[in-house]
């Protein structure tokens, strides 16, 4: 049996207020190590809430989230932050690069913040990742002096900096044209195959989802479809 990077057990989420709103209803989900999957759902389906819970940015109201077999429900916020920094990488629709820093410096940032490696080792690792994503010629460019596709590839390299076992990509090409979108998804697939990194790509676009190996569709806070496209 393949090793699981993620397991959700009966995850529910309710937002309490003047009117309580239950967003997630008993979600059970497993992701195998090295898998390349899509989480698909329309606006309001609950996919953003589910993504935040998977990424340990939010806690479920009920249920358990296990990362590499480790239950997270009893972890403190500091313990969750440490686990997140060591295990999960994030790629967002907007790249969130720091404009005053170069591509290399942006990629180095997660390691420098976590103290996972020396500055020299971080620089070497960042250069290797920028080479991997095809940006060897713009390492010293300020992020503001790069194209949208280059900025997003820099963000992908940054997400890989701490060697995460799982990368959560939230609409990673939403601001890019169709040609650049294709290039970015081919890059994600290449990284998945070459490094064995697990990817969960969040999208509302079925055409994007069909490029992955598995489509997990969420509707009204429940998993309505789970298809293995390799079969």
pLDDT of residue 183: 80
Q: CB 199: neighbour CB atoms within 10 A?
A: 23
CB 30 within 8 A of CB 194: no
Q: Which domain holds residue 186?
A: 4-228
Q: What is the mean pLDDT of each run of 10 residues along the chain (231 residues)?
A: 87 92 94 95 89 94 95 92 90 84 92 82 92 89 89 90 91 76 84 92 84 94 93 75
Domain count across the chain: 1
Write out the DSSP string of 184-218.
Answer: HHHHHHHHHHHH--EEEEEES-HHHHTTSSEEEEE
Give the pLDDT of residue 184: 81
Tell me, what CATH number does 98's domain have?
A: 3.40.50.300
């Amino acid at each position: 049996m393949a090793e699981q990077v993620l397991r959700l057990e009966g995850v529910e989420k309710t937002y309490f207020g003047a009117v309580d709103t239950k967003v997630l209803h008993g979600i059970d989900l497993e992701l195998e190590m090295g898998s390349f999957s899509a989480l698909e759902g329309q606006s309001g389906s609950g996919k953003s809430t589910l993504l935040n819970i998977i990424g340990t940015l939010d806690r479920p109201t009920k249920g358990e989230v296990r990362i590499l077999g480790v239950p997270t429900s009893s972890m403190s916020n500091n313990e969750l932050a440490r686990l997140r920094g060591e295990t999960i990488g994030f790629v967002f629709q907007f790249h969130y690069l720091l404009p005053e820093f170069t591509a290399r410096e942006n990629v180095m940032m997660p390691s420098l913040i976590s103290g996972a490696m020396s500055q020299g080792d971080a620089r070497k690792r960042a250069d290797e990742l920028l080479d991997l994503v095809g940006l060897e010629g713009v390492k010293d460019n300020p992020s503001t002096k790069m194209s949208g596709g280059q900025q997003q590839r820099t963000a992908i390299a940054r997400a890989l900096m701490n060697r995460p076992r799982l990368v959560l990509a939230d609409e990673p090409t939403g601001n890019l044209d169709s040609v650049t979108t294709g290039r970015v998804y081919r890059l994600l697939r290449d990284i998945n195959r070459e490094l064995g990194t697990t990817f969960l790509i969040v999208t509302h676009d079925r055409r994007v989802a069909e490029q992955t190996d598995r489509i997990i569709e969420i509707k009204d806070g429940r998993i309505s479809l789970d298809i293995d496209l390799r079969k």
